[in-house]
Amino acid sequence: MKRVILHSDMNNCYASIEIQRNPDLRGKTLVVGGSVEDRHGIVLAKSMEAKAMGIKTGEALWQAKNKCPNLVVVAPHYEVYLDFSRRARTIYYDYTNQVEPFGLDECWLDVTGSVHLFGSGEAIAHAIRRRMKEELGITVSVGVSFTKTFAKLGSDMKKPDAVTVIAEEDVARKVYPLPTDAMIGIGSKTKEKLRAVGIHTLGDLAQADPALLKSRLGINGEKLWKKARGMEEDPVRDRDDLLPVKSVGNGITLREDLKSPVEVRRIFQILALNVARRLREGELMARGIEIHLRDKDLRSMTFQRMLPTDGASSFLLRDSAFDLYTEKVDPARPIRAVTLRATNLVPSKAAVQTDFFSDYEKKKKEEDLDRAIYTIRRRYGEEAITFLGLLNDTKMPIHTHDVITLPHPVFR
């Protein structure tokens, strides 16, 4: 039996939610954008009117305003978007328990086992489309097909407020004329590699020699070939099928460039406190660390290594990250953005390999101090306690937001 897969995509998600919250914004050339003062001045989402003016997601706000001087810019409200995402998922769960999120605004649904209850995949898609409009006040585009890849292609074909079906007999007509980068998993670099061997459309990709693709793109080339031919078997993950957390990170773009190692170390301390908190909440500890830096010229650097000992304290994360930075980066290089990530995670109750050279008494004191800071902040707020060095101007942005990556048990 062929699978029946839906892909539901909230149209212009952030902008649509802001318009739903404030109807006076309807019909205006609107974008949701970050703070110019904090150097987060980019378009995060746009209304249909802004799209018609040629405004694109990801471009700088000043560029968008050049295209439309009367542009309305609204600050993002992530907690509101998260709430809408939860509410949308509640609707999806009425039709299947196999719901796999893809960011805040998109989900795959496997309704193969539900068609005998609710009708065809197309009928279920239309029911979801109507309910989203009636209950949440926003529209969705839904693709219906027999693989996840083709279902997503379908949701991209008609916007807004539409349902597109790609049946097996429709593939040659609807899918194969599309450019290769219309398919999920093919970005600009992969597109160029495919173009170099004469592959321009998804039809070209489907008819290509898989051995050639594997030689050019590795195992991913063979996977892309299978997806283009409708041979994909990737499941839509069940609502209770949680993937293990492989890493926990926190990153920030600074208000001004960091121009000394002292300034960089302060930022590592701030990020490490956030990462350590999330590790403690998840009852996890790290065995490795990764840092990602972007300099003033937007050149990126990523470095990683194993930690000297397993742990979850902010001191361990901060010191290891800073040691990696001092070894790998020219201290005179101005830094614009910093990310710290704890990797190789294991349960906090896992056995720890000891050695003769580590100061375990110091490690225990640091963990106790971390635990005290965490307890005080949880009870009295983030500003209740901090390090003396962080009272200086750290160049942190004025407006900060916690970013939540889907999927997570927070949606259950």
Percent of the residues in the chain that have a pLDDT greater than 70, as a whole number = 89
For residue 352, what pLDDT is reported? Answer: 55
Contact 71, 62 (CB under 8 A): no
Inter-residue contact 75 to 35 (CB < 8 Å): yes
Q: Which of 106, 263, 290, 366 is catalytic?
A: 106
Is 170 within any annotated ligand binding site?
no
Listed as ranges, residues in the chain with pLDDT below 70 are: 35-40, 239-244, 350-360, 363, 388, 398-412
Residue 221 is encoded by which pair of tokens? 């080339």
Please give the pLDDT value at position 351.
Answer: 52
- Output the pLDDT for position 402: 40
For the purposes of burial, counting CB atoms within 10 Å of the CB of 14, is it exposed (0-12), middle (13-18) or buried (19 or more)?
buried
With a CB cutoff of 8 Å and minimum separation 6, the contacts of 379 are none
Q: Is-contact 320 308, C-beta < 8 A?
A: yes
Q: Is 105 annotated to bind ligand?
A: yes
Is 106 an active-site residue? yes
What digits encode the pLDDT tens for the residues 270-283? 999 989 988 888 88
Residue with the two structure tokens 């239309």:
126
Sheet holding 30-33, edge to edge: 43-46, 30-33, 72-74
Please report, for residues 42, 74, 113, 132, the alpha-carbon distance to residue 15 in angstroms, rounded to integers and kept in the order given. 14, 8, 34, 15
Round to whole Å and give the CA distance between 255 and 338: 12
Give the tens place of pLDDT for each residue, 43-100.
Answer: 888 999 999 999 998 788 888 999 999 999 998 888 899 899 999 999 999 999 999 9
User: What pLDDT is recorded for position 381?
Assistant: 74
DSSP 212-275: HHHHHHTHHHHHHHHHHTT---PPPPPTT-PPPP-EEEEEEEEEEEE-SHHHHHHHHHHHHHHH
pLDDT of 179 reads 97
Q: Structural domains in the chain?
A: 1-174 (3.30.70.270), 176-228 (1.10.150.20), 247-411 (3.30.1490.100)
Tokens of 336: 């614009």
Beta strands in 93-145 (DSSP E): 99-101, 106-110, 140-145
The span from the CA of 64 to the CA of 291, in Å, is 32
Would you give the distance in Å from CA 176 to the centre of its chain?
29
User: What is the token pair recorded at 380?
Assistant: 């009295």
Predicted pLDDT at 359: 60
Structure tokens at 58: 């990801």
